[in-house]
Amino acid sequence: MKNENAMKLAITGILIALGLIIPMFSPVKILIEPASFTLASHVAIFFAMFISPAVAVSVAVGTTIGFLLGGFPIIIVFRAATHIIFALIGSLYIHKISKERFSAINMRIFSFCIAAVHAAGELAVVSIFYFGGNISPAHTEKGFVVSVLLLVGLGTVIHSMIDFEISRAVMLPIKRIFPDPIHISHR
């Protein structure tokens, strides 16, 4: 038990670091204000969800603090803070609610559902900034539907699902080495 806790703590620290390094150094960044998408920026959080709810929340909190201390714009810090919600919900579902094997189809359905929760959180933050006048008028000239609902909402769903698939692809070979926290289908 003590070794397992130490391992989870070490993995949590590594995932927080990874969650901070990827957005800073990723060569694939798309910025269409008020939305921003960095390939694999959520991989650490998704990976943490497979380990435990505590690790998932810790990684989400750690990356949020990292963005704050890194001097990122406050809207990005608040968007990162919403990751705590989808990380907790997703991890609780994986570990507490779902007792059946995750097939490839079930994983993709789960990915879509958690992406919708992810997008809802980010939509809430961006909407507050949008209606509060804290987003540049140049970035809001297309209106709320295009600027917020499509770019942030739909964009986050797509981005989240891509990052989830990356996490799943990384988890498959790793689960051969370490005990399998959940049953993930190879298909």
Domain at 68, CATH number: 1.10.1760.20
Residue 138, in any domain of the structure = yes
The pLDDT value given to residue 186: 43
Question: Residue 53 falls within a domain, yes or no?
Answer: yes
Reported as a pLDDT band with limits 50, 70 and 90, residue 153 is very high
pLDDT digits (tens, 9 = 90+) for 13-53: 999 999 999 888 877 778 777 777 888 899 999 999 988 99
Pull the structure tokens for residue 135.
């987003």
pLDDT mean over 149-154: 93
Contacts of 110 (CB under 8 A, 6+ apart): 90, 93, 94, 102
Does a structural domain hold residue 20? yes
For residue 4, what is the enclosing H or E element? helix 2-25
Residue 16 falls inside a structural domain:
yes
- Looking at residue 29, its pLDDT comes to 78
Sequence-separated (6 or more) residues with CB below 8 Å from residue 170: 43, 47
Q: Give me the domain span that covers residue 59.
A: 2-174
What pLDDT was estimated at residue 37? Answer: 82
**180 within a domain of the structure (yes/no):** no
Inform me whether the pLDDT recorded for 157 exceeds 80: yes
Q: pTM for the complete prediction?
A: 0.86
| Chain segment 101-145, per-residue pLDDT in tens | 677 888 899 999 999 999 999 999 999 998 887 776 666 677 889
User: pLDDT category, 183, cuts 50, 70, 90?
Assistant: very low
